[in-house]
Amino acid sequence: MNFSWLMGEQLVRLVSALFVMTLVARYLGPDQFGNYAYIFALIGLLLPFANFGLDDLVMRAVAEDPPSASQIMRRAVFFRAGMALIAATAAIASTQFAITPAGVNPKLVALASLALFAAPIETFFHVVKALERVKRVVIMRTSIAFATTAITIWSVLNGAALAAFVAIRGCEALLLAAAAWLGFKMLRQTRGPAKAATFRISDGLPLMLASLATVVYMRIDQVMLGSMAEARELGQYGVAVRIVEALNFVMYAIQSTLFSSAVRNFKKSPETFDIFVQRIFDAHSLAGWTAMIFVGLFGTFLLVPVFGPKFAGALPMLAILLIGVPFLFLNQAWSAMLTVRGWLWTAPVATAFGATTNILLNLILIPVLGGRGAAIATVVSYVLTGIGISAIVPRLRHSARAMIKALNPVEVFFRTYRLYMAEVRGRT
């Protein structure tokens, strides 16, 4: 049931996000949408500082010790609030010291920074997910998605400026977080002795660095395009990236649903955990292939009719980025499983390598190929971060084998089907 509610929310928000993005892109045009994409790429680069890698740690600690949920939540929220303030200050200051596209100013970045201040409050949602009691929160967050869509339509019809759409997106993040806070307050807390001994803020540092490196290889291409190419090129690339990023809703919903089960499985039987990990990889890979095919069909037949002929240049960029979707889904599962095992410093090293590769490839490819070069650099970094590093590091080679095995969608489908039928026969 927890999975159904989360997937329902993610589906509604996916459709809403795609519709809003389409509407805003058509209305603003490639040049203005390029500024919009740059602003939120910049915010995305700083979001890991506000989160400080505590999402999975909070979920793991609450899943292991539900009576400590309130204590864990308070520690995480207050710390993340301070980090969000630092991140927002850095974002606004960057407009004064970095090369930015024309039209990007401190006011716009300040409005977008509202999304950074949503990060501390979003902690409540991770606590609710760990307690597997998401129904009320999902209903409220779904309603907010509908409201955001309606306000965006109203803004377009009334000829709003770029600042209005930036503010709408920042406020939406705050409202989604507020819904999580309200949902947590409505819960009846699990009673029992509270320990919270397994939750340490300092454990978030390696995960923050891993998240930062991940965001760098997912967002730095847009920031670099904003500095090295025309705004129109960035606007077209921004559309391709936004379409692919919409799939993150599905990826995070799967991870959130399976994470608590992974924690319990590892705690109960560490020696057989690799079998469970293969199932996690299979689920993420199958979802990634499905998403890639679905969005690929959309891009082929509908991108130009939906976004307009000015965005036709986004189609080859989208096609390249879609190749990396199964690898992106697998990397998310791989990072989560490292957290469950307690191998917290492995992910930062791997993702830092991927991020460095992405930056170097961007420097080489963007001047020659523009947005297509940025897309190629991103896909290569996806492959190197998960499978590439795992194949090199001896204790991670079993993960490399499992991820490669999960990349065969036909085999994964039949393997998943056999497991499902075995479970059905076991229940009967």
Output the pLDDT for position 207. 66
Instruction: Determine if the pTM surpasses 0.75.
Output: no
Q: What is the mean pLDDT of the chain?
A: 80
**Percent of the chain residues topping a pLDDT of 70:** 84
Answer for the pair 328, 382: CB distance below 8 angstroms, yes or no: yes
Output the pLDDT for position 308. 83
More confident residue, 218 or 103: 103
Output the pLDDT for position 93. 87
Output the pLDDT for position 317. 92
| Cα distance between residue 177 and residue 63, in whole Å | 20
More confident residue, 246 or 156: 156
- 346: in domain: yes
Q: Would you call 69 helix, strand, or coil by DSSP?
A: helix
The three-point CA angle 115-288-41 to 5° equals 25
Which of 278, 370, 290, 354 is CA-nearest to residue 322? 290
| All residues at 6 or more sequence positions from 294 whose CB lies less than 8 Å from its CB, including other chains | none
- 195: in domain: no
Query: pLDDT for 36-58, tens place per residue?
Result: 888 888 888 888 888 776 776 77
Query: pLDDT for 306-340, tens place per residue?
Result: 888 888 888 999 999 999 999 988 888 887 787 77
Q: Which of 235-239, 251-255, 293-297 has the lowest mean pLDDT?
A: 251-255
Residue whose entry in the numeric block shows the structure tokens 């890639």 = 292
Is the pLDDT at 96 greater than 50? The verdict is yes
Residue whose entry in the numeric block shows the structure tokens 């978030």 = 204
Output the pLDDT for position 155. 93
Is the pLDDT at 342 greater than 90? The verdict is no
Q: How many domains does the chain have?
A: 1
Q: Which domain covers residue 159, as residue numbers?
A: 2-190+200-427
Q: Which of 85-99, 168-182, 366-380 has the lowest mean pLDDT?
A: 85-99
Query: pLDDT for 11-41, tens place per residue?
Result: 787 788 778 888 888 898 888 888 888 888 8
More confident residue, 414 or 113: 113
Long-range contacts (CB closer than 8 Å, 24 or more residues apart) made by 330-333: 330/281, 330/284, 330/285, 330/288, 330/386, 330/387, 330/403, 330/406, 330/407, 331/214, 331/382, 331/385, 331/386, 332/251, 332/252, 332/255, 332/284, 333/254, 333/255, 333/280, 333/281, 333/283, 333/284
| Cα distance between residue 263 and residue 270, in whole Å | 10
| All residues at 6 or more sequence positions from 72 whose CB lies less than 8 Å from its CB, including other chains | 58, 61, 62, 65, 127, 196, 199
Output the pLDDT for position 394. 83
User: Looking at residues 246-265, what average pLDDT do you find?
Assistant: 73
Output the pLDDT for position 192. 47
- 244: in domain: yes
Query: pLDDT for 175-205, tens place per residue?
Result: 988 888 887 777 665 554 445 455 666 666 6
User: Looking at residues 132-145, what average pLDDT do you find?
Assistant: 81
Answer for the pair 377, 371: CB distance below 8 angstroms, yes or no: no
Structure tokens at 335: 């990072």
Is the pLDDT at 153 greater than 90? The verdict is yes
